[in-house]
Amino acid sequence: MTVVPRIALAVLALAAAFAIGRLSAGSGKPPTAGASYNAGYRAGREAAFAGYDGGWAYGVPDEITLQRGGPGITYRIASRKQLSAGRAPAP
pLDDT of the chain along its 91 residues, tens only? 577 778 888 888 888 888 887 777 766 676 667 877 788 777 777 666 666 666 777 788 888 888 887 777 777 888 888 887 666 666 5
- What distance in Å separates the CA atoms of residue 15 and residue 22, rounded to the nearest whole number? 11
Task: For residue 84, give Cα distances in angstroms to 60, 61, 63, 88.
Answer: 8, 8, 10, 8
Burial of 47 (0-12, 13-18, 19+ CB in 10 A): middle
